[in-house]
Amino acid sequence: MAILRHEKKEKAIIVGCGRLGSQLADLLSDANQHVTVMDRDDTSFRKLSASFGGLVLEGDGSDFDMLVQAGAHEATILAATTDDDDVNIMVGMIAREILRIRLVVIRLSDTGKKAAIADSGIAVLSPSTLCVEAFDRLVRREETA
């Protein structure tokens, strides 16, 4: 089983090694995927766990050449998780529309900006929306209890 999973390795790129990006990178690394994490600031990589087995690359993920250097042209997963919504949108669009990466996920704090990438096939993770959904589930559970 472990060998099978090993063969199914996918290449993932995480742009932005903050709290979210570093945890995503750890998750994928623990699942035995090829992971490359990018961040403009190399001290950010300290957030990665000691068991992290992927690569780190210091650089700006919205720079096309840097993305290519990170191997984005052969990646199947890309997550843009910097603290800047505009940068995440730009990275997401380059990944999806130019590099044709299969699964592109970006974090957006301001959900209003989703309109900029409508119909592009980019998945959006919005912390506030996710919190509201979780909150809603908690309330419902209390009501039914």
Partner 1 sequence: MKILLVGGHYKAHFLAKSLKAKRHEVVVINDDVEWCKFLTNAHDIVCVCGDGTKPFILEDARAAEMDAVAAITNKDAENLVICKLAKKLFGVKRTLAVVNDPKNLEVFTRLGVDKSISATEMLSEVIESETVFAGVQSYLPLENGRIACLDMVLSGDSPVCGRALRELDMPQGSIVGIIVRGEKTFVPNGDSVLRAEDKIIVLTSAAAADDATALFGADGG
Contact residues for partner 1, defined by CB under 8 A: 62-65, 84-87, 89-90, 93-94, 97-98, 110, 112-113, 115-118
Q: Which is nearer to partner 1, 35 or 104 (CB)?
A: 104
At closest approach, how far in Å is the CB of 40 from partner 1?
13
Residue 124 in tokens? 């959006």
Return the ∠ at Cα 142 (arms to 137 and 145), rounded to 5°: 120
CA 132, 87, 20, 100 torsion: positive or negative? Answer: positive
At closest approach, how far in Å is the CB of 85 from partner 1?
8
At closest approach, how far in Å is the CB of 89 from partner 1?
5
* Run of H or E residues at 138: helix 127-144
Q: Which is nearer to partner 1, 48 or 78 (CB)?
A: 78
Q: Which is nearer to partner 1, 11 or 96 (CB)?
A: 96
What does the DSSP assignment read for 55-114? EEEES-TTSHHHHHHTTGGG-SEEEE--S-HHHHHHHHHIIIIIS--SEEEEE-SSGGGG
At closest approach, how far in Å is the CB of 84 from partner 1?
7
Question: Do 99 and 67 touch, CB atoms closer than 8 A?
Answer: yes
Q: Which is nearer to partner 1, 65 or 142 (CB)?
A: 65
Question: Do 81 and 21 touch, CB atoms closer than 8 A?
Answer: yes
Q: Which is nearer to partner 1, 15 or 35 (CB)?
A: 15
At closest approach, how far in Å is the CB of 101 from partner 1?
14
